[in-house]
């Protein structure tokens, strides 16, 4: 069993390839052999996993059991494929998993870019301010001391304002960078809930986290229903994918309503799980027998909403950091140039 896992894009590509082969009537063992021949004798994660899977299916194991034995696939994919095999809907589940993990990869890249660009801007700001404090401002100070004898005793003492602007801005940027590094360390050490709780205090960040939770839930629910799960079982199985306390509470209330005999769409509408327009779409889909299609459409809409919110956050943070850099450097340069202008006027 491999200790490494396939990334989201790798899982998506595998599921899509398997889905197309199953759709063409190719047996599982033949499909895995074909995938092995495509990848050759490379020693990558997928190649090692395929070798284990081939051995397992040759012994009579199903696709889900073989994938589990390989150890390279996430638990969610294994649960979905196992349910799809039981319900005889393996092809549908594989296609949905391919789309699900491709969407997850897109959202992950958006979030990565949303963090990387401000982090790069922070590094740039800290570097520029450091250069101003270490090289530029001392050079001007030495020149003025030479011309006036003592800058502190002259009428140009406000040159030190430039030092104040730079030090204040540098301290703020260093604290912000330390906070980002601390949040990243907590995230990697399994303290994701604490990081999300802190981010949730900001209205825009809270909207992003909730939208991501809804996207994961809706996508998982659509896949579970496609695998043949009952509605209440699909809701219960999708709940761990949410990872958002407020949203989980709403879902538990929906489950309670479903236990009382309400349908999944009616429970979601009554508890305002989705926005009203989305809730009515779900009701209409359930009544017309197009529940899975509507859930697929909702997943697309929620994914687009997540992307838009992340873009909006970047659109706010980027100009803000750029503005801090320009204002600080501008005021600092103005403070050190004013004495020079005054001296030139005196000479003139």
- The range of the structural domain enclosing residue 15 comes to 8-73
Residue 189 lies in a domain: yes
Q: How many domains does the chain have?
A: 2
Q: Is the pLDDT reported for residue 64 higher than 60?
A: yes
| Whether pLDDT at 231 is above 60 | yes
Do 169 and 279 have their domain in common? yes
Spatial CB neighbours of 287, under 8 Å, sequence gap ≥ 6: 265
121 in Cβ contact with 322 (< 8 Å): yes
Q: Are residues 108 and 69 in the same domain?
A: no
C-alpha 253: how far from its chain's center? 27
Q: What percentage of the chain reaches a pLDDT higher than 70?
A: 84
At residue 336 the predicted structure's pLDDT band, cuts being 50, 70 and 90, is: low
* pLDDT reported for residue 29: 84
Task: Assess contact for 77 and 70: CB atoms under 8 A.
Answer: no
Do 24 and 137 have their domain in common?
no
The tokens 């204002």 sit on which residue? 327
What percent of the chain stands above pLDDT 90?
0
pLDDT band at 318 (very low <50, low <70, confident <90, very high): confident
Would you say the pTM of this structure is higher than 0.85? no
89 within domain boundaries = no
Most confidently modeled of 23-27, 148-152, 304-308? 23-27
Q: Is 312 among the domain residues?
A: yes
| pLDDT for 284 beyond 70 | yes
Q: 343: pLDDT confidence band, cut at 50, 70 and 90? A: low
User: Which pLDDT score is estimated for 200?
Assistant: 62
Residue 286 lies in a domain: yes
Cα 255 off chain centre by: 27
Mean pLDDT of 51-64: 87
Q: What angle do CA 8, 10, 16 make, to 5 degrees?
A: 100
Compute the distance between CA of residue 201 and CA of residue 190 in angstroms, rounded to an integer. 20
Greater confidence, 273 or 335?
273
The burial of 145, by beta-carbon neighbours within 10 Å (0-12 exposed, 13-18 middle, 19 or more buried), is given as: middle
Q: Residues with Cβ < 8 Å from 306, sequence gap 6 or more? A: 107, 110, 208, 211, 212, 215
Confidence band of 226 (pLDDT split at 50, 70, 90): confident
Cβ–Cβ under 8 Å, residues 313 and 208: yes
Residues 53 and 103 placed together within one structural domain of the fold? no
Q: Within this chain, do residues 29 and 132 fall inside the same structural domain, yes or no?
A: no
Q: What is the pLDDT of residue 330?
A: 76
Q: Are residues 191 and 139 in the same domain?
A: yes
Residue with tokens 């949730």: 200
Mean pLDDT, the chain, whole residue set: 79
Verify that 50 and 124 share a domain, yes or no: no
Whether residue 59 is found in the same domain as residue 177: no
Does residue 1 sit within a domain? no
Considering the domain architecture, whether residues 264 and 177 belong to the same structural domain is answered as yes
Any idea which of 24-28, 138-142, 155-159, 237-241 has the lowest mean pLDDT? 155-159
Give residue 33's pLDDT: 86
93 domain residue, yes or no = no
State residue 326's pLDDT score. 78
Helices (H), the chain: 8-23, 28-39, 45-58, 63-70, 75-87, 90-131, 137-148, 160-188, 192-199, 203-226, 231-238, 245-259, 264-270, 276-287, 291-347
Given a contact cutoff of 8 angstroms between Cβ atoms, the answer to whether 7 and 14 are in contact is no
In a domain, 116, yes or no: yes
Gyration radius (Cα) of the chain, Å: 29
139-185: pLDDT as tens digits: 777 776 776 655 444 545 667 777 787 888 888 888 888 877 777 77
My answer on whether 17 and 129 are in the same domain is no
Domain match, 115 and 14 both: no
Q: Identify the weakest region by mean pLDDT among 122-136, 191-205, 249-263, 321-335.
A: 191-205
Give the pLDDT confidence score for residue 260 in this predicted structure: 86
Tokens of 267: 């429970």
- Structure confidence at residue 304 (pLDDT): 83
Instruction: Identify whether residues 218 and 321 lie together within a single domain.
Output: yes
Q: ∠ CA 96-69-240 to the nearest 5 degrees?
A: 50
Quick one: residue 189, left, alpha or beta (phi over 0 = left, psi -120 to 50 = alpha)? Answer: alpha
pLDDT tens for residues 69-114? 888 888 888 887 887 887 777 888 888 888 888 877 887 777 777 7
Q: Are the CB atoms for 313 and 110 separated by under 8 Å?
A: no
- Say how many CA atoms lie within 13 Å of 15 toward its Cβ: 31
Count the helix, strand and coil residues of the chain and give each as a percent rounded to the nearest 5.
85, 0, 15
Q: Tell me if 84 is assigned to some domain.
A: no
Select from 100, 103, 49 the least CA-distant residue to 221.
100
Q: Contact 124/318 with Cβ under 8 angstroms?
A: no
User: What stretches of the chain adopt beta strand conformation (E)?
Assistant: none
CATH of the domain at 115: 1.20.81.30
For 102-112, how does the pLDDT look when each residue is reduced to its tens digit (9 = 90+)?
877 887 777 77
Identify the CA nearest to 73 among candidates 12, 144, 140, 129. Answer: 12
Q: Could you please report the per-residue DSSP string of 243-307?
A: --HHHHHHHHHHHHHHHTT--HHHHHHHTT-S-HHHHHHHHHHHHTT-HHHHHHHHHHHHHHHHH
User: What pLDDT is stored for residue 264 in this prediction?
Assistant: 84
């Amino acid at each position: 069993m491999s200790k490494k896992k396939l990334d989201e894009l790798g899982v998506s590509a595998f599921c899509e390839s398997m889905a197309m082969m199953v759709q063409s009537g190719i047996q599982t063992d033949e499909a895995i052999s074909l995938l092995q021949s495509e990848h050759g004798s490379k020693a990558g994660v997928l190649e090692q996993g395929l070798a284990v899977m081939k051995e397992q299916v040759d012994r009579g194991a199903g696709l889900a059991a073989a994938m589990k034995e390989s150890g390279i696939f996430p638990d969610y994919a294994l649960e979905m494929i196992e349910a799809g095999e039981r319900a005889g809907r393996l092809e549908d589940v594989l296609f949905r998993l391919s789309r699900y993990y491709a969407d997850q990869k897109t959202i992950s890249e958006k979030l990565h870019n949303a963090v990387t660009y401000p982090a790069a801007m922070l590094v740039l700001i800290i570097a520029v301010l450091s250069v101003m404090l270490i090289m530029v401002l001392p050079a001007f100070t030495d020149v003025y001391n030479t011309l006036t004898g003592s800058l502190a005793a002259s009428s140009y003492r406000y040159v030190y304002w430039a030092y104040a602007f730079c030090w204040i801005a540098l301290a703020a940027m260093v604290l912000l960078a330390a906070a980002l590094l601390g949040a990243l360390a907590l995230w990697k050490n399994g303290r994701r809930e604490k990081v999300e709780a802190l981010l949730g205090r900001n209205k825009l960040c809270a909207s992003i986290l909730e939208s991501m939770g809804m996207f994961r839930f809706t996508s998982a629910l659509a896949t579970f229903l496609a695998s043949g799960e009952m509605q209440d079982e699909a809701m219960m199985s999708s709940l761990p994918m949410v990872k958002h306390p407020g949203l989980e509470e709403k879902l538990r209330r929906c489950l309670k309503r479903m236990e009382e005999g309400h349908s999944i769409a009616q429970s979601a509408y009554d508890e305002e799980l989705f926005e009203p327009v989305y809730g009515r779409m779900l009701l209409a889909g359930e009544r017309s027998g197009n529940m899975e299609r509507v859930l697929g459409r909702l997943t697309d809409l929620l994914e687009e909403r997540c992307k838009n919110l992340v873009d909006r956050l970047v659109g706010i943070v980027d100009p803000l950091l750029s503005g801090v850099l320009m204002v600080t450097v501008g005021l600092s340069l103005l403070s050190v140039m004013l004495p020079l202008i005054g001296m030139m006027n005196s000479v003139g």
